[in-house]
Structure 1
Amino acid sequence: MKLLTLNTHSLIIPEHEAKREIFVDFIAKEQPEVFALQEVNQTAAAPLLAEAPAGYYPCPGNMVLLKADNHAAAVAKMLEARGVHYYWSWLPAKIGYDIYDEGAAVFSRAPITDAENLLLSQINDYNNWKTRRTLGVCAGDVWYYTVHLGWWKDEAEPFAPQWEKLSKAAGAKKTAFLLGDFNSEADVRGEGYDLVLGSGWQDTYRLAQQRDAGYTVVEAIDGWRDAPDAAAKKRIDQIWCSKAVAVKSSRVVFNGLQEPQVSDHAGVMIEL
């Protein structure tokens, strides 16, 4: 069983359509059971999407309709054209870069039977870029959450209270995986990574029998440009589980080595 996460930086990254083709080809080849995406954008002013691709599961409480250039919908259509079917859901959290409905998505090979819309930030303003939500879906008897959290030292919306809300909700499930951009560097002690670890969650990277260096960001990116270590390598994209599981391997994907770069983040794929 394979799980994958990627912060897509969709529609913003240069040559995003060509990079989306590379991503979809990879998914069609590897066919992970679940993949979670962050920064899944659509242009807020774009026309409505005429019809949602097959397998769409609307998230409760999402009042934003799918637009014609929605990145998740495009991925679903492209996979369908390759004969690969996924069930999927998308949840926007805020207006990003002043023009996008920015959100997250989860794709599952197994049918989605339930979905959850969690407000993690204190701010609940769609026009405020620090608003944070997470989308969880249930497939089988396992929940999968696509995660994009705030920064540890953010004065308005720090990491810790957001994590407490997420941990409480996801931790109540029988089994849950958290996949995404935690904006918390695994090599830094006493901050977000240690808080998650100390909350009883299991880092699948540490559980993996085989693993690489794990770094998913190797240059300055949006959100980190003002940090003292802006250009340092970071393992901020992670996959956690609510309990210890047997992990065969964990590897970074789309970092320019085995696969081309398709975003300002690389992704992570684990095999259970």
Structure 2
Amino acid sequence: MRLLTLNTHSLVEPDYEAKRKFFVDFIAKEQPDVFALQEVNQTASAPAMPIPLVDYCPCSGNGILLKEDNHAAAVAQMLKEEGVHYYWSWLPAKIGYDKYDEGMAIFSRMPITATENLLLSRTDDYHYWKTRRALGICAGDVWYYAVHMGWWKDEEEPFLDQWEKMSHAAAGKQMAFLLGDFNSEAAVRGEGYDLIARDGWQDTYCLAQHKDDGYTVVQAIDGWRDTPDAAEKKRIDQIWCSKVIPVKSSRVVFRGTQEPQVSDHAGILIEL
């Protein structure tokens, strides 16, 4: 079984359509069982999609319609044209860059039997950029969450509060995976990464028999530009499991080495 996570940057990314094609070709070739995407955008003012999508599973509590340029919908359609079938769900959390419905998506080869819409931030203001949500899906008997967290030192919307809500929601599941951009550097002690580990979650990178350096950010990116370590390499994109499981490998993808860069983040592909 293989899982993938990627902060896509999607419509904001330069040369978006070419990079989207690189990404879809990779997915069509590798066919991970589940992949989770963050910063999955659509233009808020774009026309709504004219017809319902057969393989789309609306997330409970999501009142925002799919628009014609929705990134996840485009990925799903392009994969379908390649003969690769996924069930998928999308959840917007906020208005991003003043014009996008920005959220998360999860794609699964197995049917999605349930969804979960989690408000993680203190604020529930759709027009405020610090609003945070998590999208959960159940496929088989396992829950998968697409996560895009805030920052540890943010006094207004601290990581600690968001993690407590995330952990509480996932704690009752038989098995759960958290896939995403945690905005918490794995090498920094006493902050978000250590908090997740202290609560019993397992970093699949640490469990992997074979792994690379794990860095998913190698330059200054939005949200980190004003920090002292803005330009340093970071392992902030992670896949956590609620149990200790055997992990064969963990590999950074879309870093410009084996695969082209498609976002300001690289992704993580693990094999269980």
- In 1: Cα distance, 2:13 partner to 2:34 partner: 23
Aligned to 2:44: 44
Aligned to 1:118: 118
Aligned to 2:139: 139
Aligned to 1:102: 102
Aligned to 1:238: 238
Aligned to 1:78: 78
RMSD over equivalenced CA pairs, Å: 0.5
- Measured after TM superposition, the shift of residue 8 of structure 1 is 0.2
TM-score by length of 1: 0.99
CA contact 1:136–1:146 (8 Å) conserved in 2: yes
CA contact 1:53–1:76 (8 Å) conserved in 2: no
- Measured after TM superposition, the shift of residue 5 of structure 1 is 0.1
- Measured after TM superposition, the shift of residue 53 of structure 1 is 3.3
Runs of 4+ in 1 over 6 A off after TM superposition: none
How many matched pairs?
272
- Measured after TM superposition, the shift of residue 172 of structure 1 is 1.0
The one-letter code matched in structure 2 to 1:100 is Y
> How many percent identity over aligned positions?
75
Aligned to 2:193: 193
The one-letter code matched in structure 1 to 2:244 is A
Instruction: Identify unmatched segments of 5+ residues in structure 1.
Output: none
- Measured after TM superposition, the shift of residue 49 of structure 1 is 1.0
- In 1: Cα distance, 2:50 partner to 2:22 partner: 25
Q: Is the partner of 1:66 in helix, strand or coil?
A: coil
Aligned to 1:225: 225
- Measured after TM superposition, the shift of residue 155 of structure 1 is 1.7
- Measured after TM superposition, the shift of residue 237 of structure 1 is 0.1
Aligned to 2:128: 128
Q: Is the partner of 2:155 in helix, strand or coil?
A: coil
CA contact 1:52–1:66 (8 Å) conserved in 2: no
Instruction: Identify unmatched segments of 5+ residues in structure 2.
Output: none
Aligned to 1:171: 171
Matches within 5 A, 1:10-89: 10-89=10-89
Q: Alpha-carbon deviations, 1:51-109, whole Å to 9, x = none?
A: 24331000000000000000000000000000000000000000000000000000000
- Measured after TM superposition, the shift of residue 202 of structure 1 is 0.2
- In 1: Cα distance, 2:177 partner to 2:118 partner: 15
Q: Is the partner of 1:36 in helix, strand or coil?
A: strand
Q: Is the partner of 1:11 in helix, strand or coil?
A: helix
The one-letter code matched in structure 2 to 1:149 is M
Q: Alpha-carbon deviations, 1:166-199, whole Å to 9, x = none?
A: 0111121000000000000000000000000001
The one-letter code matched in structure 2 to 1:18 is A
- Measured after TM superposition, the shift of residue 219 of structure 1 is 0.1
CA contact 1:52–1:73 (8 Å) conserved in 2: no
- In 1: Cα distance, 2:208 partner to 2:169 partner: 25
Q: Is the partner of 1:40 in helix, strand or coil?
A: strand
Say if 2:247 is the partner of 1:247.
yes
- In 1: Cα distance, 2:198 partner to 2:157 partner: 21
Q: Is the partner of 2:83 in helix, strand or coil?
A: coil
Q: Alpha-carbon deviations, 1:7-56, whole Å to 9, x = none?
A: 00010010011000000000000000000000000000001111243310
- In 1: Cα distance, 2:17 partner to 2:154 partner: 33
- In 1: Cα distance, 2:16 partner to 2:73 partner: 14
- In 1: Cα distance, 2:38 partner to 2:172 partner: 23
